């Protein structure tokens, strides 16, 4: 899943890694990723993450930056599903054309 313009979600003009390793990363700019419950080792006793982020920058084959949870290892992420985007980031779902916001 990918957004059309990842720059819409960025506060800065990020550039990818300069040595070419960023092209080996499984994610690229604009990909929508999910950081699941207890997203990383050592976080077992903390609150759940359950965050959806847009990839803004790819550092190398193992690290990237998102708009919601900053720099992160790809081993702690996976591609977000439509259901996760709708549940955890409904405004993004609407912007991507598949969400529904219910006004109360």
The domain limits of the chain are: 6-96
Mean pLDDT computed over 62-78: 93
Task: Look at residue 55 and tell me whether its pLDDT is greater than 80.
Answer: yes
Contact between 33 and 55 under an 8 Å Cβ cutoff? The reply is yes
Does the pLDDT at position 103 exceed 50? yes
Q: Does the pLDDT at position 43 exceed 80?
A: no
Alpha-carbon span 10 to 5, nearest angstrom: 10
Residue of higher predicted confidence among 41 and 90: 90
pLDDT at 19 over 70: yes
Query: Which pLDDT score is estimated for 101?
Result: 59
- What is the pLDDT at residue 76? 87
pLDDT for res 23: 85
| Mean pLDDT, residues 69-89 | 93
Q: Using an 8 Å Cβ cutoff, are 77 and 27 in contact?
A: yes
Collapse the DSSP code of 90 into the 3-class scheme (helix H, G, I; strand E, B; otherwise coil) and give the result: helix
According to the model, what pLDDT value does residue 79 have? 96
Identify the pLDDT of residue 63: 95
Question: In Å, what is the CA distance from 41 to each residue of 11, 60, 63, 96?
Answer: 29, 21, 16, 31
């Amino acid at each position: 899943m990918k957004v059309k313009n990842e720059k819409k979600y960025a506060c800065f003009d990020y550039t990818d890694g300069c040595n070419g390793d960023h092209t080996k990363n499984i994610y690229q700019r604009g990909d929508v990723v999910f950081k699941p419950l207890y997203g990383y080792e050592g976080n077992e006793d903390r609150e759940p993450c359950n965050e959806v982020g847009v990839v803004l920058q790819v550092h190398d084959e193992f690290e990237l930056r998102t708009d919601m949870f900053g720099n992160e290892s790809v081993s702690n992420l996976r591609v977000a599903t439509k259901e996760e985007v709708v549940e955890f980031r409904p405004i993004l779902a609407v912007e991507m054309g598949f969400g529904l916001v219910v006004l109360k």
